[in-house]
Amino acid sequence: MTRMKIDRLVPAPGYPSRDVALFVAELEELHERVVLASMALSPGQLGWQPRPGASSAGMLLAHIAVAETHLVQVGLLGEESGHVEDVIGIREDDDGMPLDSNGLPPAALRDRDAAWFAGLLARSAAHLRTAAAGLTDDDLDTDVVRPPRPDGTQRVFNKRWILWHIVEHTAGHLGQLQMLVNLVRGQAS
């Protein structure tokens, strides 16, 4: 008897743009993997650092939610500045990233369990789904022009790039998270 495992990425329903529906489906798949990778970790393991100044698993989880929410606010919604705390319940700086070379995880993340971090991700994903609900293919090609940075550079990107960057950013941190999970489990051996 042949055993079969089928994996399919199906566009999320209810979006006028197939591209948006695929970005949302990709992000949902990534969030499932992020949560699955971290759900067996204790609060102590979520706060463990391989060395001072390095990110903990909890910091990565918080950072994913903070970054996604901020990118939706300033990228998709075109807001002047982010207000992450209004959506996910922590401030942009509460992820602790980046840390200085001797830095420890921020107090806002101390003793938090995996369900708490999964809640941050769920709220950031819900925010993205709401913001993306009416986006059309034409909207994705709309440029967002950000105010000049202190160094004088100005960012211009389209909304399609923002959705791609959210997926790319989360995928990169998933790899880091999986590595940290293996390291923290090795500490208990």
In a domain, 100, yes or no: yes
- The rounded distance, in Å, linking the Cα atoms of 158 and 82 is 18
pLDDT of residue 50: 93
pLDDT of residue 130: 97
pTM of the model: 0.93
In a domain, 160, yes or no: yes
Higher local confidence (pLDDT), 36 or 189: 36
pLDDT of residue 119: 98
In the numeric block, the tokens 């993205």 are attached to: 128
Whether pLDDT at 182 is above 70? yes
The CATH number linked to 104 is 1.20.120.450
pLDDT of residue 189: 47
Annotate 18-51 with b (16+ C-beta within 10 A) or e (fewer).
Answer: ebbbbbbbbbebbbeebbebbeebebebbbbbee
Q: Which domain holds residue 104?
A: 18-188
Whether pLDDT at 26 is above 90? yes
The model's confidence at residue 121, banded by pLDDT at 50, 70 and 90, is very high
In a domain, 2, yes or no: no
Read off the DSSP letter of residue 40. T
In a domain, 91, yes or no: yes
The model's confidence at residue 186, banded by pLDDT at 50, 70 and 90, is confident
- The rounded distance, in Å, linking the Cα atoms of 139 and 177 is 33
Q: Express each pLDDT in 142-180 by its tens digit.
A: 999 988 889 999 999 999 999 999 999 999 999 999 999
Q: Express each pLDDT in 40-68 by its tens digit.
A: 999 999 999 999 999 999 999 999 999 99
In a domain, 6, yes or no: no
Is the previous residue joined to 98 through a cis bond, with omega within 30 degrees of 0?
yes
In a domain, 12, yes or no: no
pLDDT of residue 89: 97
In a domain, 33, yes or no: yes
In a domain, 1, yes or no: no
pLDDT of residue 100: 92
Q: How many residues does the chain have?
A: 189
The model's confidence at residue 7, banded by pLDDT at 50, 70 and 90, is confident
For the chain, the domain total comes to 1
